[in-house]
Each structure stands twice: as structure tokens, then as C-alpha cells.
Chains A and B, each alone.
Chain A
């Protein structure tokens, strides 16, 4: 260490003295930073700015070199230098002075000096060495601020080799009484760990101490190190899991000082850091994961959805839950969270939701199903970032059935972002073959898609893609021979069509693919004259924008085709033109073409049709050249030397630069070893090789020009060989079948009016998400007009629905036993994919059967319970009409209604529908709309002749609160009504109520009747009567805006009025006021959550802004608004 210091010390004066030589510059205090900035803002052109800054820099340079410049002035100068650097002008001369300032200045100047250093220099800069001494001095300072400054700069940049010099001092600071110093010391060690992990290996125990520091700031800082450590080696830190969990629990529990709160959230940075660490620790480790389930659950629960920062924590939490060993309960909650993100109107959350989906769908594709409509909407999002993320999601759910649609969408996307090609673009194009390989529905589709990919991908495409494609074409998919032949024929067909049309827009790579495929496979197509293909190729050859590389591919193809009748004349023509080409490769190929077309025998030998490629024997030792070589040697030729050997010699000889050789020779050698079946000129190639070495050896003038003139033939052959070798490589595997098709078939979706768009989306949704559920076909496009986002995953659910419709009679359906139903319900709530089902239990069970739902079940009493359970809210939007089925005849309706007690019969209510029935009991239900609640009315009818006693006891769990209760006896053939007042605590477009009634017809024989019903958001919406003024006040008190365009009802009179009154009627809204083209509407969600709508005619549609204290209410309400207006 002392060595280092000494070196620095001695180096410093010499460096510093450099600048003291120049003459005494004048001190100008007039040009301060402010003046500089002001004069820059006054400038109009970049050129002027350049001039000004250069002047400024010259002045600075003069000043800094002046020995009379005081440290104070130096500080001011440094600030200006930083400013100039920020503007993009180099002020490297000031770097050394920044270091000087840091070293020699007093505290304030030091601060600027350190800042300048940290901004000017980067880790590898040589001058940084000069800083070491200064840092050392300051670390030992008694001044807190100086120590802080030194630690700050160390944590930002420090030369790696010098770490040992200051490490002991930094370590010592870990025990400093001041927490700010401890914290910075920890971060400095973090930095050291990052740049030189080995240097700090011995102080890992001190990290643990820092983790246990009583100051939360220091502890937080130590987590940075732990995150890094655990990332690299999670296994060695498993024992710390408990501590991390404990810390997180304390943080979540609000045990930290209020200082660390951020927008009322306790230490979010700390939480996120801990969550990241935990997810690393719990990955693939069940026992460790188990330790953290509880705290993760707690974090999820505590983080209410209200502010960005809580979303950040939630997101991290969800990520952790999906990373660690899975626990279904948590996964379910996390999935719900992601759902909230995805449907959020906030675009940032939407993005994160989609991002989360990308890794979640791999585990559970059903989550994508739930959000398919949102995903579809995101596909058309104006922000390409969202679009891209959506495609990413789709890419992950690709399967056999939806691959076509997804690929089409991706291609659409690529068309749009073509102007800004970036890495991702490449990635997307790159993944196509992958997609196509695994799931390609058929060969034709594959060819067509690849055509589009090639056309779009252009020159930016990764070269592997065409190579892989050609290999595929040559080898096939590993499927039937016949199928592969079909693929090839199809490719040939589609390429011919492409060539017949305008080829100017086709990228070069695509042209190369086309010509290769035509050359190899056009013979497979019956009735296709090679002459025709050759003509097309010849035309292509003459196109101006075709590069010589592509031309060479085309010529190779023509050579393969030249055997056929008629082709020879054309070949002659072409070869005549290109045999005088400036490009030697083309010239070579043109000559080959000429020879091959004139000598069919040779052609057949060299280029046999459809031969399997692996049947070619490659003599990699080139033994057939032996005689030639020995002959050449005997005639005095120089022995062959490997290229590196030659280069060595050349270097020794100090010859002229011979770059061309070093490039071409090794290449040609490698091509020799592969040996090309298509090269008829192997001999001449090797002769050119020996020629080369000959010349080299001779030590003649080794100029490129000379070489080219004399060794022309050789060069030609070598490059040609390279060319063809490449082709062989691509195609390098045995040939099999192929098939045909047309290019450029991308169907673009046309958008008609709104409903058409909606339907389109439906269609799209069904095609995209097909195959994700277990019952793919059932949920596709069931109803063309429904906006149902929901997929029915189980057919049994549908079965039970039908049974529920049955007329109330003794003909009960025995389709399902109650256990089965229980499973069903439970499963449902897990998936939060509710399917409507009304099941009937046939009551064959002895004793209470509804354990899972009932809160009480007393054997002895004749009282039975109807446990009412609110199952998880549905994923939004299920068809309303679908459910309300006329379960009972009109007569029954009236007879049922007559049962209503007076307080109910006066309320507006929905139709009565049959809920469920068995041979002795029938349940019907209706909804009555009271001003303060929704009444869910259940009518029980006893169908049995024998008199018996019924008792119902109901409990209602979650969301809705129980307001009514009924206990009664029910004689035979009579009915009884009980009702429950329900409120909606959280907005959902729809919730499912499920429950059961247990009764005992015969003593000791308990039977249970299950039922479910759906309640809609509209059931809970009531008008909110407000004055315009109150409305205005309320409007301002909410900040979240949701905006949507709605359909306008066109008809006689004012469209705005008509639309609003339609909404008012259907949705129970209150129209506060209508002024001109604007209207304000208010409603409330029971019990008392207001939602305000501000409508305005905008173009041909109604623009609506919604505000509400409940975030999801506007979205849910909008859904019904849209629905209502569409039905009008």
C-alpha cells in the first residue's frame, strides 16, 4: 500500500507542474457560469454555440493553468467546465485540475472537485490513480463532511487495483458512530464487491453486521450487497431467509421510523429489495419458500391499490410469488393482482400487467384467457411499447390452433415498426422459424409466412433465418416424404409468382433464398419448363438493384437449370454478358454456366437432380491432387505453407501490407476441405493455391493489383468455392420432400362500424386464445353479439345449467351429487372463472352434507341451514340474458308474486326465475331494487304432500352484507319468502351468489339444495341526485379520470338527450344537467360510492369522462353503458 501512495505522491507534482509553466493568465471574474448560460440561451444556431463554447474553453484553459488562480476561482471554473462537458464539448485539460481541486481545496472546493472528478472520469481513466492519495487523506480526516465526500466518490468510481490501499480504512468506517458514514462505507464496499469481488471476500462477516445495524438506512444499504451475493450464490445464504422475512414483516408492519415512509407506505425501497432477495432465495426451494409465504401474503394484503408506490410493491410481490416454490393460495391472489394491473386504465400499470402475464401464462395460460379482451384491445394500442408487450404475451401462449393468428398479428406489428428497427425487431423475426417449426399448421402456411417475414425482415434479418429456412426446405420438417415434396413444390410455385410480379421491393436475402430454392427444386414441379424459370432468373439478374452477391446466387441457380432444352441459348446469352463483368466471381460463374449448359454430360455428373446431399463423398485430404502437387513441386514450385506461417514470414520480411491474402487464403482453404460437388474446377482451384504460395515465396512485389491480374483464375475459383460451400452448408443435409404455395398472404383486418369492430375482436379473441382451456371449442364465438370475456372451462357446468332450467316439479335432476358440486364451486373460486351453474342435489345423503358452506349444522335440531356463500366475483362480463331464463310460466310468476309481503311488492323488481329445485323443494329468486340496497328474494316452495317443517338459516359471506334473515316452517304445498339486502363493497361487473338450503323432510334425513345466481353491477346502481354545483364540487374532489367514446343514439331529436335518457332508463342514472353538447350524469353504487359522468358530443360519438373514488367502478359502469347503447 505504501508503495502505491508513494508512487502517487511522486507522480503528482510532475503532473501538476505541467500547467504552471504557461504564462500568467488574467483572472476574469466577469465570465461566470450564469453569464455563460445566459449567452448560450441567446444564441440561435449550433454553430454560434460551438464558437462561444470554444472561446469559453480557451479562457478556462488559460485560467486553470495560471498559477495565480485561487482555489475559489478554480471551483467556479470547474463548474463551468462541467457545464461545457455536459453540452458535449470536451474539456479534458481540466480533469487534472479537478483532481487537484479535490486534493488541495478546502471543504467546499473539495466538494466541487470530487463532483467534477466523478463526472469527468470513468473507472479506467489513468488520472484516477492520482485521486487515491486524496481519498486516503480524507478518509482519515476528522471532519465528517470530508469523510462523507471521500466515501461518496469511492462508491462511484475507484481504480480496481487501488482497492487494497483504502480497504482497511473503509472497513474501519463500518463501526463509525455516525450512521451516514456507516451507510456510505457499506455502499463503498458494495462498489468494491462489484468491481473486484475477490478483494472483499474476507469481510463477509462484516456485511452481516451491517445487516443487523440498528439504523435502517445502513441495513438497507447492506441489502444491496446481499442482493448481489445471493444473485450469484443463493445456496450459501439460505440461513438468512428467516432474518429477511423478519425484517420484511417489521417493515410491512410499520415498525420503522416515519421518516422512511414514502407517501404513507413504509420504506418501499426496502420492501422491494427484500422481496427481490426473498424471491432469489425461495426459487426452486420448497422449504425456504415456506418460510416466506406468510409475509408475502401480508405484503399483498397491506399494499392497498391506491398509489404508484404500492403498485410497485405489489408487482414485486407478484413476481416473488411466481418465482418461489408455488403455493396455490398465493398464486391465486397474485393472479388477481395481475388482473387488476392488466385492466387498469393507467398505461404504466397495464404495461406491467402484460409483462407479468408474459411469465405467468407459461405456468397458467388461463390467466390470459381471463384477460383476452384486454389483450385484444392492447394489440391495437397506440403505444407500440404496449403492443410489443402484448405480442410477447401472445407469443408465449402460441399453440397449434392459434399460431396463424398470432403470427399474423406479429407481422402486422413488424410492418408498423419497420422504420425503427431495433434488437427486439430482430428477436421477433428470429422467433418465427421457431414458432413455425413447433406448431406450423401446414406447409403452405409456413411458406407464406416465411415469404412475408423475408419481405419485411429485409437486410436487417439475422442471417441464420434464411439459412435455417433453406435447411428446412432441404430436409423437410422430418415429416412424410410426400409432404415435403409438396412443401418444395409449393415454395417453387409461390416464388415463381413473386418473380413474375415486381421484384424491386424484395430484399436481397429473399432473392437469394428464392433463387436457391428455384435452382434446386423447380424440377419437382410437373410441366414447368426450366427455360421459363431461367428466363425469370435472367430477368432478375438484370435488375439494377440486385447486388452482386445475389447475382452470384442467381447464376448458381441458372447453372443448375441450364441442362434443359432451350435453357442453353439463354445461358449462352447470360454468360456472354457476365463473362466480361468487373466482378470476378460473376465472371467465373458465367463461364461455368457456359460450360455446363453446353455439356449435358458434365452437367448431369456435377449437378445431378434431387440427389441426396449426404451421398456426396468429400475427400477432405484432397488426395486426388497429390499427383498434381508432386508434379508442380518437381517443376520447382514452392511447397505449400499454411497462411499463418506465411504471414509470419511476411512480417519478418517487413513486406507491404498484404491484407487481401490473409483474408482470402484461409477462406479458400476451408472451402477446399469441404469440397464442393458443384465446382467442376477443383483442379484449377488448387493450382491457384500453389500458385499463390509460389508467388509469396518468391518474394516478388506483393501488391494486390498485381496479384489480381496474375492470379485471377485462382481467385475466381476460390471465391466461387466459398460461395457454393456456403450453399452446401446451408443445405447440408439429406434431401427429402417439399410442397408449394403462394406468398404475401396477410389478411388485414378491416374495421367497419363499432359493432363490427367489437365482433371482430370477439372473433380475434377466440382465434387467439383457442386451445388454452381444456375445452377449446366450446368457448369460441359462442354468441356473436355477446361481449363475454369469460370462458367456460367445464362442460359439466353447462350440464348443470340445463338441469336448473327444469320446471319446478318433482322431476329432479340427479345429475350431480353434492360432493361434486362442492368441488365445482371450490374449484371455481380458485380459478375465479365462474361458470354459471345451478345444481340440484338429490338428497340421498344422510346427515348434513354441506360442510364446506355451512357455518352450523346441528344434527339434533330440525333446523337446517342454508349457507349462502358469495363466490369470488366473476371475471367481468357475462351475458345477462343468458342467465335470466323464464324458468316458470306466467301463471307461476303471478302466483309467486302474490306471496310477496307488501313491503316487497311495492318495490320495482325483476322477473322471478327458478333457481333450483328437487322433488320436495323448489327455489325461485328475484331481485328487488330498494333505494338503499338490493334485495335478493328467495321463494321457497314445498312441493311435497306430506307436511314437514322447513327452517332456513342463512349466512352471507364476503362482499355483500346480510340484512335480512328468515326462519320459518313451511307446510306442504305452500311457499315462503325470505330476502336479503345486499350491498356491493367493491365494484365488479358481476358477482355470483351461491348457497344452499338444507332441510329435513324426514327426521334424521337431511337434504340440501344448492343454488347460484348472478348479480350485476347495474343491480346495485342507483341514481344520485345532485345539483350542478354539488356535482362540480364532487367532480373536483376526485382525480382519477377514465375516458371512453360511446356510441351515440341517432334518432329524432337531440342525440345527446336521447342517449343520456336511454342510459338513465337502463342503468338508473341521474341526469344532472344538459348544457349544449355536454351533459353531466351522476349515479352511486350502493351503499354510497358516487360515480360521475361527464359526457360530450365529440365527432360522431359520445366522449365520456368518468370519475369515482372507486377505481374500478368507472370501468365496470362503462361496460354496461356500452352494452346498453349497443342494444338500443
Chain B
């Protein structure tokens, strides 16, 4: 996977993860173009797009678009399921996740993503294991936080 973008129906970027080195300028350009293209598509249309030399796989959950860029020989359907699994993870973590959860806790969303995908590849596909890893880190966080204050 080359990158993953989350953006709202209004075109606001909510999360971006780049797995290929690109300059900020390029990133911005790509984001702008893609958001435009994806938002222009109708709901019944195909979830796959050929864009430049990449394949874009996107899916809309409520008001949020999840959008991944993969290479040509990658499997589109499994990418769609990666998105879905990520949403499942978010859902499990936040408890029926909504866009606001992701806006206000985007760093958490990043942490979960990092446990699930690493360097553009699926790292851990077991839902339980991903959440366990996140919980462990969170737990440590709480301990740390509580120590200075107590």
C-alpha cells in the first residue's frame, strides 16, 4: 500500500498515512486531487479507481471516506477488507466509532493503524492481537499519567 487517507464528505482530511517518501507538496497535490475525484463519484459506483499509475480503493463509512492507494498487482478486494478491518478496530476501540471520535482522538486512530498496518503491509490481522497491543500501550500511558499526578 502506498498511502491511506481519511477524509470527510466535505473534503476535510481526517487522517493521512504515507508509506512512500513524498514531498509535502506532492502529498498535498495528491490529496487534493484524490479527494476531489472520490467525492465526485456516485454511491453506486465501483470502489476502485485507476488513478495515475495507482489503483485507488475507497469506501465510505457514514460521512467518512477511507481511501487507500495500492499498486496495480495488488488485490483490490483485500484492500477493501483492510479498510473494513480498520473500521472494525476503530469501532471496537472507541465503541461504535463516529467521525468525531476520529477527529478528536486522531492520534489514537494513528496508533491503531500503526498496530494494524506497518510500512504499508498488514502487520497483524488478528483483531484481538491488535487491540491487545493498543491496550497494553494505553495501560502504560495511564500508569505514567497517574504517577506524576498522584
A residues within 8 Å of B by Cβ?
A: 33-34, 37, 72, 79, 82-83, 86-88, 90, 106-108, 111-112, 115, 118-119, 122-124, 143-145, 148-149, 152, 155-157, 180, 183-184, 187, 190-191, 194, 217, 220-221, 224, 257, 259-260, 262, 267-270, 272, 276, 308-309, 311-312, 315-316, 347-348, 350-352, 382-383, 385-386, 388, 422-424
Contacts and interface: CB of A to CB of B under 8 A. Distances in A.
Interface in B85-132: 85, 103-104, 106-107, 110-111, 114-115, 118-119, 121-129
Interface of B: 13-19, 21-24, 28, 42, 44-53, 75-78, 80-82, 84-85, 103-104, 106-107, 110-111, 114-115, 118-119, 121-129, 133, 136-137, 140-141, 144-145, 148
A187 B121 CA distance: 9
Contact of B110 (A119, A269, A422): A119
B114 A115 contact: yes
Chain A CB count within 10 A is highest, among B13, B48, B84, for: B48
A272 B78 contact: yes
Nearest to A72: B148
Given A88-B28, A312-B81, A79 B46 contact: no
Contacts of B107: 79, 82, 112, 115
A217 B118 contact: no
10 contacts: A72-B148, A107-B141, A108-B144, A122-B18, A122-B21, A123-B21, A269-B82, A347-B45, A351-B46, A423-B53
A308 B77 contact: yes
B75 to A, nearest CB: 5
Contacts of A148: 133, 137
Contact of B136 (A82, A144, A187): A144
Contacts of B51: 422
A139 B106 CA distance: 26
Contact of A308 (B81, B121, B136, B148): B81
A124 B53 CA distance: 23
B137 A111 contact: yes
Contact of B114 (A107, A152, A351): A152
Given A111-B137, A224-B121, 13 more contacts: A72-B148, A111-B111, A115-B107, A124-B21, A148-B133, A152-B115, A183-B123, A260-B125, A309-B81, A312-B80, A316-B75, A351-B48, A422-B51
Contacts of B81: 262, 268, 308-309, 312
Contacts of B46: 347-348, 350-351, 383, 385-386
A191 B125 contact: no
B144 A106 contact: yes
Contacts of B111: 111, 115
A90 B23 CA distance: 12
B49 to A, nearest CB: 6
Contacts of B28: 88
Contacts of B148: 72
A422 B77 CA distance: 24
B122 A269 contact: yes
B123 A184 contact: yes
Nearest to B15: A86
A315 B140 CA distance: 42
Given A107-B141, A183-B124, A82 B133 contact: no
A108 B47 contact: no
Given A221-B123, A348-B80, A152 B24 contact: no
A191 B21 CA distance: 13
Contacts of A37: 103-104
Contacts of B53: 423
Contacts of B136: 144-145
Nearest to B41: A383
Would you list the 8 A-B pairs with minimal beta carbon distance, nearest first? A312-B77, A108-B141, A259-B126, A122-B21, A312-B78, A123-B21, A383-B45, A269-B125
Contact of B106 (A82, A155, A347, A348): A82
B110 A217 contact: no
Nearest to B81: A309
B104 A87 contact: no
Nearest to B16: A86
Contacts of B48: 348, 351, 385
B150 to A, nearest CB: 14
Given A37-B103, A187-B123, A190-B119, A348 B47 contact: yes
Contacts of A145: 136-137, 140
A822 B146 CA distance: 81
A320 to B, nearest CB: 11
A348 B55 CA distance: 13
Contacts of B122: 220, 269
A217 B129 CA distance: 9
Contacts of A82: 106-107
B49 A34 contact: no
A118 B118 CA distance: 11
A130 B84 CA distance: 36
Contacts of B110: 115, 119
Nearest to B32: A88
A106 B141 CA distance: 9
Chain A CB count within 10 A is highest, among B13, B16, B119, for: B119
Contact of A315 (B18, B47, B77, B85): B77
A33 B45 contact: no
A194 B120 CA distance: 12
B78 to A, nearest CB: 4
Chain A CB count within 10 A is highest, among B77, B80, B136, for: B77
Contacts of B84: 308
A255 B93 CA distance: 28
A486 to B, nearest CB: 40
A111 B143 CA distance: 14
A220 B24 CA distance: 32
A964 B125 CA distance: 51
A199 to B, nearest CB: 16
A152 B104 contact: no
Nearest to A1043: B44
B18 A191 contact: no
A107 B78 contact: no
Contact of A152 (B42, B80, B118): B118
Contacts of B126: 217, 257, 259-260
B41 to A, nearest CB: 8
B81 to A, nearest CB: 5
Contacts of A350: 46
Nearest to B133: A180
A363 to B, nearest CB: 18
A272 B141 contact: no
Contact of A348 (B23, B76, B119): B76
Contacts of A267: 125
Contacts of B22: 122
Contacts of B17: 119
A334 to B, nearest CB: 15
B45 A385 contact: yes
Contacts of A351: 46, 48, 76
A191 B119 contact: yes
Contacts of A191: 119
A462 to B, nearest CB: 16
Nearest to A92: B24
A538 B36 CA distance: 45
A156 B137 contact: no
B24 A90 contact: yes
Given A180-B129, A269-B125, A108 B77 contact: no
Contacts of B76: 348, 351-352
B144 A107 contact: yes
Contact of A111 (B23, B129, B141): B141
A220 B77 CA distance: 19
Nearest to A78: B107
A187 B13 contact: no
A773 to B, nearest CB: 30
A313 B36 CA distance: 31
A119 B14 CA distance: 13
Contacts of A385: 45-46, 48-50
A108 to B, nearest CB: 4
